[in-house]
Amino acid sequence: MTGPLREREDAHALLTAEAERARAGGGRLVLLRGATGTGRSAVLEAAAAHATHLGLRVLRARCSPDDIALPFSSVLHLLGSVPEFADVGPGDDDRGSAARLWRLLRSYADESPLMVAVDDVHLADEASRRWFVEAARRIDRLPVLLVATERSQYDIDPRPAGLTHALSPSMVRTHTLAPLTDNASADLVRAAFPTASDRWTADCVRAGAGSPLLLHALLDDLDGAPPPTAVPRTCAALYPGSYPAAVSWWLDSAGPATAEVARTLAALEQAERTEWTERAVRAERAASAARAARKASAELAENADRTENAERAASAERAEGSAARDTVPVPFSFPLPDPVPDPDGCTDTVTEAAHEALPAAEAATDALAALVADASGADPARVSGWFTAMTRLGVLRPDRAGRPRYAHPLLRDAVLGGWSTARRQDAHRAVAQAMLRRGDHLDAVARQLLGSAPAGLPWALRVLRDAATVAARDARPGDAVRYLRRALQEPLPDDLRQRLLTELGSLEYASADTPAGIPRLAEALDLPAEPRDQVRTAIALGTALVGRGEVRTAVEVLRRLEGRLAGHPDLARALQTASALLSDQDQTVRREAYRWLTDTAERSPELVGASGQALLVRYAATAGDLPAQEAMRRLRTLLTEPADPLAEPFLLGTAAAVAQWADELDEAERLVERGLAGQHPSLLHPMEQALLDTRWDIAAARGAYGTLLAALPEAGRARRTGGSPVNADAHTLLALVETGRTSQARRLADTFDLRDTPDSWELNRFLYARGVLRHTEGDVAGALHDFLECGRRQSARAVHSPVVTPWRTAAAECRLALGNPQEALALATEELRLARVWNTPRTTGRALRVLGRATRGRRGLELGAEAVALLRDSPAEAELVASLLAHGRQLTAAGERGRGRDHLREGAERAERLGSVRLLTYAEQALRTAGGRRTTPAHTGSGSLTGSERRIAELAADGRTNTEIADLLHVARRTVETHLTSAYRKLGIRRRGELRGVLDD
């Protein structure tokens, strides 16, 4: 596809004027200069046609590198086209030959005015070049217009001096053909495709890179796939392939050194773009999660205190902003003025901000030039100059960081197309090595190694392993998986391969590639390795199998390995503990595992170890056989004993769970954080999810509904393969109910079909949560069914204590609502008996509240009052609110309306502070029924701070950090942060530095 010459009017006017001058008897040399593909030949052809129209005789020659060996070959091509002079050839004497050729030219001029058109004079042999220079000196009084085209493009290897280097400027008219502007290129595109959209046209303009050659070749290829078909991003989609052929010719014209630099830059950019795209996708997901959190907080804000809501909305806004700022780390060590919104986006205008960022952009370009030069073996100064020249031509365009990059992905792909796979791999390795030498970010070096071939280089394996570790630590399992897959292509000894396979399988499972993860782990377990490494692999494989519901298979895998560890009792104990923990997902396997663990502990306690004994403490706690105080005493003793690193996570996680049940929430938080800090980021471990579950349990025990709802997207990600509900789903469902968002809670509940869900403790939790939802919706019978089914399943697992799911009290309330007080009384009585065994305010107070309602009369009032008094010393604020409301209604019904209204008002105020719309609605209804109304408490100012909030705020005002405050008060850092956030809200401040002023007031 050809088109009219664009933006070449100046050249045409110059040649027309010089042709008229030649007709009048005055000759001159006109030199048309330009980069490859800018249309020098097309302009020369147009000038020749116009000269013919004016009556000039045109002699043409196109120089070729094949003729360099023959002296005067270009001149002979020019003059030998006339038959009568076909036998003229150069003699042995160059000067004599030049003279004879000059006389030949004059003979032409004597017949008629001439135009001598010499294309690509830079390819002429040296004798011909000298002849053209000499002719330029002598044609000023002849009717001869000598027009030559010459390539003038900046290359990595410097080119020889041009044709006019030895001529006075007065003897030659030089015109340089500039690259096409975007507007001219767009006109050419629209001329070929009149229906093209602006975006499609702009894509073509960028791929054309200001070169008529490339643009016409592209339009030829696109002729069979006109818009709205997208402009391809790879040459594989082009037919017949004129565009990649034109790019290849452009590179060949530039020489091997330039082609090497161009392709090295393309390889580097391609790897960078892949990283950009992947991280942009992750950042978008993070931003979406933050937006969902903000929406959740905003909906919660409709029914809660405005000041508190503003703080939550601001927190969500900051989370979204943080996610957006964390979009695209660039694998070069220089600052960016702002994030790059498009991996292939470039900027064409220089704004004031961009002008201020020019020094940073120059530094970015210099750094990139040095890297490309190092990888390709070129001179950095020449590479930097080439970047500048190609940017001027339009082949490269600066992105918003100022770095030169190819104007379009199709152009980049065409540049790379001239390299074989092996050569590309070599380039990626060379770039990686250059990056490593100059100290670039580990991730950037590893990204380049992904495209390289295995070479057995120690530094490459080290980089890939370290980058995988960093990626896993930074919660980028996808990156870590790619690095480890590449590392496994290197020649490795069996023990190292075993460790890498274990990490890879763990990360593949964690990144939702479960089918790939389990075979990797199984392969790792079959390889010879140290016993400790085999145990790590077996635990990871067992965790993955349990995630797929294959609990018995997981336990059998661990027991088979345990049988081969007779000489390693510590490792055998770790496997026993892991087996017991993993068995929690299946009630039959669980009974077998704990029966074996219990029997072994009775016969030989030393064979069980501290972590196994901790699991037995937890088992006794859930079975209702052990009080909380005794359980914590035993666990604290176990925590002081030396623990094997493989067994310590089991001990910490078990102790954290029991501490949460025992209302030791601060201690539980410390244990959770300690346990998570000890987790290997690249190894699958069952206790990691157990610790995260305990973190959810702690937030629920505190009534931190905002925290639970803000982590709603995380709950979905935590779901195991098969779509079964997990602990996070249960807590989210309860938080939605408590905050009055029953419709959203219903949508979440309907996500799961529990009829075919495999047995697990998490299913029981979700059944309990769904029962609470059904009760709130008014489906009391449906709620009772869920609570009783939860109880049946828990009892089958020997979980009788109400520390996990208080299903008896929930079912008793349903029985009361359905008019079955005797059955409610029996359930509540049994719950109180078990609660008094565990003996914590939360469990006992809850049981007393429901038993008081079921008992009624004076005894019922006493039980209700006891529940309120007991819960005032508990961190379970929601349970205290429920007991205040229940006792308030009891007092009102008993005729003590004043005391009853006081309890109801206190309950309403606490429910409002807690953010529990469900309890607040219940309280307000009860107050109206009792003939009372709420008072408006002071929720702001220093007087509204609780004792803990004031103590922490004063320490913060004195300049102590959150960590120092946590250590001083023996609480978790998260507790400090929670109290400070609440204090900021009540005091109406946003910064730590404002604390002293408002506290003094």
Prediction pTM value: 0.76
Q: Give one word for 708, left, alpha or beta, with left for phi > 0 and alpha for psi -120 to 50.
A: alpha
Average pLDDT, the chain: 85
* Helix (H/G/I), strand (E/B), else coil: 117: strand
Taking alpha carbons only, the member of 802, 759, 809 closest to residue 787 is: 809
At 874-896, the pLDDT tens digits run: 888 999 999 999 999 999 999 89
Asked whether residue 169 carries a pLDDT value surpassing 70, the answer given is: yes
Asked whether residue 546 carries a pLDDT value surpassing 80, the answer given is: yes
- Alpha helices by DSSP H, listed for 474-568, are 477-487, 494-510, 514-526, 531-547, 551-562
Among the residue ranges 217-221, 305-309, 603-607, 974-978, the one predicted with the least confidence is: 305-309
Pairing outcome for strands 396-398 and 404-406: antiparallel
863 sits in which H/E element: helix 857-871
Asked whether residue 329 carries a pLDDT value surpassing 90, the answer given is: no
Asked whether residue 968 carries a pLDDT value surpassing 50, the answer given is: yes
Q: How confident is the model at residue 4 (pLDDT cuts 50, 70, 90)?
A: low
At 787-799, the pLDDT tens digits run: 999 999 999 989 9
Q: How confident is the model at residue 336 (pLDDT cuts 50, 70, 90)?
A: very low
DSSP string, 144-177: EEEEEEEE----SSPPPP-GGGGS-GGGEEEEEE
Residue 13 half-sphere exposure, CB side, CA atoms within 13 Å?
A: 4
DSSP assignment letter at 697: H
Asked whether residue 184 carries a pLDDT value surpassing 50, the answer given is: yes
Query: Are 826 and 806 spatial neighbours (Cβ–Cβ below 8 Å)?
Result: no
First to last CA, the chain: 81
**According to the model, what pLDDT value does residue 341 have?**
38
At 199-254, the pLDDT tens digits run: 999 999 999 999 999 999 999 999 877 788 889 999 999 999 999 999 999 999 99
Asked whether residue 105 carries a pLDDT value surpassing 60, the answer given is: yes
**What is the arithmetic mean of pLDDT over 418-439?**
92
Distance CA 643, CA 647 (A): 6
Query: Are 338 and 389 spatial neighbours (Cβ–Cβ below 8 Å)?
Result: no
Distance CA 603, CA 888 (A): 53
Asked whether residue 361 carries a pLDDT value surpassing 80, the answer given is: no
Among the residue ranges 379-383, 467-471, 710-714, the one predicted with the least confidence is: 710-714
Q: Which two tokens stand for residue 741?
A: 């968002």
DSSP string, 439-484: T--HHHHHHHHTTSPP---HHHHHHHHHHHHHHHHTT-HHHHHHHH
Distances 912 to 314, 622, 711 between C-alpha atoms, Å? 20, 33, 21
**What is the arithmetic mean of pLDDT over 576-600?**
88
At 802-860, the pLDDT tens digits run: 999 999 999 999 999 999 999 999 999 999 999 999 999 999 999 999 999 999 899 99
**According to the model, what pLDDT value does residue 959 have?**
84
